[in-house]
Amino acid sequence: MSPDLVVAGAGGGVAGALRAAELGLRVLVVESSPQFRQGNNTSMSTAMLPGAGTRWQADAGVDDSPQTFVDDIMAKTEGQADPELATALAEVSGRLVTWLADHAGAPIELATDFSYPGHSRYRCHTIPHRRGALLLGVLLDGLDRSASVDLLTPARLVDVVTTDGRVTAALVSYPDGTTEEIECGAVLLATNGFGANREMVSTHIPEMARATYHGSAESRGDALRIGTGLGADTAFLDAYQGHGALSTPYATLTGWATVMHGGLLVNADGLRFGDETTGYSEFGHQVVAQPGGTAVLVFDQRIHDACLVFDDFRATVDAGALRWADSPAGLGEAFGIDPAAFSETIEESRALARSGGVDRFGRSFWEQPLGLPLAGVRVTGALFHTQGGLRVDGQARVLRADGTAIGGLYASGGAAMGISGHGAAGYLAGNGLLPALGLAFLAAEDVARRRGA
């Protein structure tokens, strides 16, 4: 029996597969990597999913709404995000979080220990340990239990067949070089973006061409190739999520909670170089631009202990990436930075934190002055995933340049255009995971609606 929906990619697209199965559709998930439980961008995330107007927010006394979320998106992107897509994702966000808890069985909780840059409300929902692989595991467990979803791996969706402008089949290749044409009613491209394609990154995001890529090796731009081959339009190809706190040489994510709890970044000259609280995405490029392409992320014992709720931070600690010192000068020496300059920078930040002052970069938020001893981690800037892709509407339908939809073709996550505007500065925490799961969820519902399920 031919599937109603073929999902290309076993990451965030699995949410769409499960939702489609709930709505009575037959689904086939095609995944190229046998290591998909650990190796895709959903599994590598911190499992932070924005949701507006949820019961978890109500229980915490947080007043939020989809419109407030949209306002935050538009403010962070300086009005660049597509309003229709931003509204669609904000409106589905609360329902998606609730579905993850009530239908998928995810142990959802609201993160209220610190505020993420750009979010005016506590709206990032997550799971214990804040590890994407655990959230993906919940979805994949549901896939294993479903009699309506089949998983085909290792296999790669290499093309989509259309007849009279509508999807009729998916072309799948296998490791032995053989191919198979699978008849289907719709295809969801959930293959992420093009972060692993160095040529495409150089073309569309030249400022990150030499940055470390910290994402799935399968993010090769397959969706762009397939979609544009069918006449699809693209948007925001210069958009991406960067990160300014990838430990080096350990390649573990130190995390931006360190900054939001009061930490700071210092370059090889012993100087800070920006307002760290504006966001970790735009700081990726700023770190890459420093001497040697690195910086030292500085925090204290209080911050260290507060960040242990993140498995990624624990991995950084366990890797031996932290260095401790009883004084700012001592920490500077440990990293080969002029002790006097390093000490002056740290003491300046302490004074600002005590007075509540605003520094020359515009930073005004310091949770507390840094205490002693001090910890430091050498970090570099990284490209985590691209945020531009095929142009889609609020139902995740792939669009042509004239605004018409390619019948039966959908895109989600990095395969689709995102809601981060251009560049890196418009990225809000969770706005990579939300389009990955949310657009897949919306695509499933649209396929079901059109098939009368």
CA 256 to chain centre: 13
Helix axes 13-22, 132-145, angle to 10 degrees: 30
What pLDDT does residue 116 have?
Answer: 87
Q: Are 206 and 363 in contact (CB under 8 A)?
A: no
Residue 74, pLDDT above cutoff 70: yes
d(CA 132, CA 270): 34
What pLDDT does residue 254 have?
Answer: 97
Residue 88: count other Cβ atoms within 10 Å of its Cβ.
23
Q: Which residue has the tokens 């407030």?
A: 68
What pLDDT does residue 393 have?
Answer: 98
**Predicted TM-score (pTM) of this structure:** 0.94
In the predicted model, what is the mean pLDDT of residues 153-164? 97
What pLDDT does residue 453 have?
Answer: 52
Q: Which residue has the tokens 């505020």?
A: 115
Average pLDDT, the chain: 96
d(CA 289, CA 24): 51
Residue 413, pLDDT above cutoff 70: yes
In the predicted model, what is the mean pLDDT of residues 123-135? 95
For residue 348, what pLDDT band results from cuts at 50, 70 and 90? very high
d(CA 29, CA 136): 14
What pLDDT does residue 336 have?
Answer: 97
> Measured between alpha carbons, how far is residue 83 from residues 130, 239, 334, 430 in Å?
29, 16, 48, 18
Q: Which of 380, 383, 384 is nearest to 250 (CA)?
A: 380
In the predicted model, what is the mean pLDDT of residues 260-288? 95
Percent of the chain residues topping a pLDDT of 70: 100
| Backbone φ/ψ region at 339: left (φ over 0), alpha (ψ -120 to 50), beta | alpha
For residue 101, what pLDDT band results from cuts at 50, 70 and 90? very high
Residue 187, pLDDT above cutoff 80: yes
In the predicted model, what is the mean pLDDT of residues 234-253? 97
And the tokens for 111?
């993160």
What pLDDT does residue 66 have?
Answer: 98
In the predicted model, what is the mean pLDDT of residues 43-56? 95
Can you list the domains of the chain with their CATH numbers?
5-195+387-450 (3.50.50.60), 241-383 (3.90.700.10)
Residue 452, pLDDT above cutoff 90: no
